[in-house]
C-alpha cells in the first residue's frame, strides 16, 4: 500500500499565506473528495503537491511512502507516482497527443534514463518502442472511449472542455500513477462528458491507486463514490467525514461553513 501524506502544510505566494496548516492522508484504493468554496485554497494545494514553483512552502511537508517530495522537481514527483489533472489544461500547438504521451510514458517508465542504441549511447534520447507504445495507446483509447483521431491532434489545441478532460483521463491511464489529483475535473462539462470522465475515473480507481477529487459540487460524486469527503476552508481542512458530508453541502451550501469556521479570505 502506498500513502500520500500532507503534514501541517503552510504555503504562500507574494508574501500572502494561502495554506495554513493542511493535514490530509490519502492511501492506495481510497477516493477522497475535497470540497470547498472558491478561493479556499484547493487549487493551490493541488499545484503544490505536483510541484508548481509559484508557491513557497514555509512549514510542513508532503510525503509519498514516507519520502518528502518537496525537494523534487515536477517530473521527479511524476516518477514518484503523482499525477495532476488540471482544471484548465493548457493547449500545446505543434505537439501531438501521441508524441506527448510517448515522451511522458518513456520518462516515467525509465526508458529515457537508458543509453539509446545507435545514437552514440546518448541518455535521454531513448523512447518506448513505437510498436509497443502504439498498441498500448490504441488499447487504452478504446477502453476509455477516446476517439483514435485524438492521437494525431495537437495536445488540447482546439479541444472542447470535455475532450480535454477525456485526454487527461487517457494520460492518467497511460502513466499509471499511484495518486491522481483531479482539480475540478467536472468544471465546464456537459452531462455526457461528465459521465465519460467519471467512468474513466472509476475504471482507474483500483486498489493500487488513490484519488483526490477537488470539486465544488456534488454532481461528480453522483458518479464517483468517495470513501471520504473533506471540507476545505480558509487554507485548511476543517471537517472530514463520509459521503454524507457532500450531501450536507449540497443541501445547506457553504454559508454555514463560513459562519462556523470564520470568514477569512484566501485567494487560490
Domain range summary for the chain, segments of one domain joined by +: 3-89+177-261, 94-158
Q: Cα–Cα–Cα angle for 83, 146, 226, nearest 5°?
A: 45
CATH of domain 3-89+177-261: 3.40.50.300
Residue 118 has pLDDT above 60, yes or no: no
How is residue 113 annotated by DSSP?
A: G
Residue 124 has pLDDT above 80, yes or no: no
Among 33-42, 69-78, 186-195, 197-206, the range scoring the smallest mean pLDDT is: 186-195
Q: For the whole model, what pTM was predicted?
A: 0.90
Share of the chain above pLDDT 90, in %: 72
pLDDT band at 117 (very low <50, low <70, confident <90, very high): low
Quote the distance between the C-alpha of residue 64 and its chain's center: 15
pLDDT digits (tens, 9 = 90+) for 143-192: 998 999 999 999 999 999 889 989 999 999 999 999 999 998 887 788 88
Q: What is the DSSP string of 21-79?
A: EEEEEEETT-EEEEE--TTSSHHHHHHHHHT-TTSEEEEEEEEETTEE-TTS-HHHHHH
Amino acid at each position: 500500500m502506498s500513502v500520500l501524506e500532507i503534514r501541517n502544510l503552510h504555503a504562500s505566494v507574494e508574501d500572502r499565506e494561502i495554506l495554513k496548516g493542511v493535514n490530509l492522508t490519502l492511501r492506495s484504493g481510497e477516493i477522497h473528495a475535497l470540497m470547498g468554496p472558491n478561493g479556499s485554497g484547493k487549487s493551490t494545494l493541488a499545484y503544490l503537491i505536483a510541484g508548481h514553483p509559484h508557491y513557497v512552502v514555509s512549514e510542513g511537508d508532503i510525503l509519498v511512502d514516507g519520502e518528502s517530495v518537496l525537494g523534487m522537481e515536477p517530473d521527479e514527483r511524476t516518477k514518484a507516482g503523482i499525477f495532476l489533472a488540471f482544471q484548465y489544461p493548457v493547449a500545446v500547438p505543434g505537439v501531438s497527443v501521441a508524441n506527448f504521451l510517448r515522451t511522458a510514458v518513456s520518462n516515467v517508465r525509465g526508458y529515457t534514463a537508458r543509453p539509446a542504441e545507435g545514437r552514440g549511447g546518448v541518455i535521454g534520447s531513448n523512447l518506448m518502442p513505437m510498436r509497443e507504445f502504439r498498441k498500448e495507446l490504441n488499447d487504452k483509447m478504446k477502453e476509455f472511449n477516446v476517439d483514435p483521431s485524438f492521437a494525431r491532434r495537437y495536445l488540447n489545441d482546439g479541444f472542447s472542455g470535455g475532450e480535454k478532460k477525456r485526454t487527461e483521463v487517457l494520460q492518467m491511464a497511460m502513466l499509471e500513477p499511484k495518486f491522481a489529483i483531479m482539480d475540478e475535473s467536472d468544471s465546464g462539462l456537459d452531462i455526457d462528458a461528465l459521465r465519460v470522465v467519471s467512468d474513466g475515473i472509476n475504471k482507474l480507481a483500483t486498489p493500487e491507486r488513490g484519488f483526490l477529487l477537488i470539486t465544488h459540487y456534488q454532481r461528480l460524486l453522483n458518479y464517483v463514490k468517495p470513501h471520504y469527503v473533506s471540507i476545505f476552508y480558509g487554507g485548511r481542512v476543517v471537517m472530514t467525514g463520509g459521503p454524507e458530508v457532500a450531501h450536507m453541502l449540497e443541501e445547506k451550501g457553504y454559508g454555514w461553513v463560513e459562519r462556523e469556521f470564520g470568514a477569512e479570505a484566501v485567494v487560490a
